[in-house]
Structure 1
Amino acid sequence: MNKQLSILFIEDDLVETMKIHRIIDKLGLNHHIHEAKNGEQALNYLNNNNDLPDIILLDLNMPKINGIEFLKILKNDEVMKYIPTVILTTSHNRKDILECYNIGIAGYIIKPLKYEDYVSKIDTLLSYWSMNELIKA
């Protein structure tokens, strides 16, 4: 049986945030989503919360601390580096993809234009991580 996930969703676009909530509701999933609008807010959440998320869904293009800057900080932390981080972005830029994998991401998903395709990708992503053996550092 798949377990409930604690997800840190880092996204500055309100429409995308509403979309992820709508998808999770549509799929009937019981995951708990914590939101951050940028890398700075996400780091504040992670540093001031005893319960770290099971997984992070991260957009790359954000103000203040962007996704790649956030990843570098996250993966240099001895505790937080174990949190699986999946990029969820519109960037097809090969340089971004290579840099993210080099830093240590768990996956890179390009947001599809069609809502049905987005639902399918999120369903597959969350199904995989909810049955995966996750480390709680």
Structure 2
Amino acid sequence: MNNDKKLAIVLFTGIGILLIYIAISTYITNQKWDDPKLNKSYTIGLIEDFERGAKSPPVYKYYFHVDGLKYSNDHLIVSQLRLLGEEKLKKIVGKRFYVKFIAEDPSYSKLLMGYPVPDSIKEAPVRGWKKLPR
């Protein structure tokens, strides 16, 4: 077998393993969000940065606190928000939005871009709210 065939086999095997890993990771994450036995809570997240990828969707980097610990995550901008210009997207940095997280493992979180935190709410309870405040 020549070197080109060996390289192709290694390359396709590596890509296949990567795709399987991504599929399994996505499945596990979706299972956690859909599991009714896991408690979901809400807190306040702050968008701290905006990044536009060359070949990937732009993202907001956000963080939040639960039980005194800081958690961070990325929010892919794939909605109509993506159609805004970069300057308008950057204006959202520093704004507060509600974050939904799994109480048993807050590293699983979702930034709720449709739910900005009103100025009347200064801080969240240490372990968050069981229901989204109104």
Q: Which structure's residues are more often helix, by fraction?
A: 1
Give the structure with the larger strand fraction: 2
Rg larger in structure: 2
TM over 0.5: no
TM-score normalized by structure 2?
A: 0.25
